[in-house]
Amino acid sequence: MITRFAPTPSGYLHLGNAVHLRLLTLLAEDRGWQIALRIDDIDPDRTRPEYIADIHDMIEWLEVPITGAARSQSQHMDEYALARDELVTQGAYVCACSRSEWQGHEGAGCPGKCSHLELVTGETALRMQVGDDDIVVWRREGIPAYHLANIVDDDAMGITHILRGEDLREATVAQRSLSAYLPQSRFAEIEVLHHDLLIDDDGRKLSKSAGMQAQPPPRTAEVRARIEQTAHQLLGTLTTVRP
């Protein structure tokens, strides 16, 4: 049984990341899981060497027993491209519509009826109708979208268990549905656990998007104790989404 820690090196890891990682370690120790490391560095415009170094520093500081070598998304574009091509045969379509054009749109296909277009980097994206949603699976930048890359990575790494924040519950549903269009995927068999989010004193989620990436938390005994306490508290909030 194996799980993974999959940070994005678009900023320094914050306290929420540290608590998540410690919670993941507690679960692995209790349930006999191995922990693999995946670096979600597929977007070169957001990736910086110091952020990757910070990931390894955090892992070392929290004494996380990582199994095997890290998987870097940037080294596996050929695998994502193969999955993209498979989705095209399963009904994925090219779309040049903007987010504003999608707002309020209902019905099959995209608002601009872009089915005649070709996939061109910088101009178009690839979408797939999954349930009631049309999700992006290949971005205009010429790289896989989060949902597709995540499925391919977890399949390749043999992941059996995933720990996520409550904010990614919809992503779990979307990825399980999308994986059904990839004949070799076993993603739908993964057991996914969600935990409550860590919030600040103002009730805001601790995240890079909320400005928490400016500097890493200090590596002190006091901070380590706070991380430990919060991780144990979150153990009681876990809910499981089984295959």
- pLDDT at site 200: 58
pLDDT tens digit string along 45-67? 889 999 999 999 999 999 999 99
Q: Indicate the class that CATH gives domain 2-77+145-241.
A: alpha beta
Q: Name the residue ranges covered by the structural domains of the chain.
A: 2-77+145-241, 88-138
Angle at alpha carbon of residue 14, lines to 16 and 203, rounded to 5°: 50
Q: CA-to-CA distance for 240 and 243, rounded, in angstroms?
A: 10
Q: CA-to-CA distance for 66 and 54, rounded, in angstroms?
A: 15
Asked if residues 230 and 217 have their Cβ atoms less than 8 Å apart, the reply is no
| Phi, psi values for residue 116, rounded to 5° | -85, -5
- pLDDT at site 195: 94
Q: Which amino acid is at 55?
A: I
- pLDDT at site 206: 55
Segments of the chain with pLDDT less than 50: 210-211
| Phi, psi values for residue 21, rounded to 5° | -65, -40
- pLDDT at site 120: 93
- pLDDT at site 235: 93
Tokens, residue 24: 């993941």
What is the pTM assigned to this prediction? 0.90
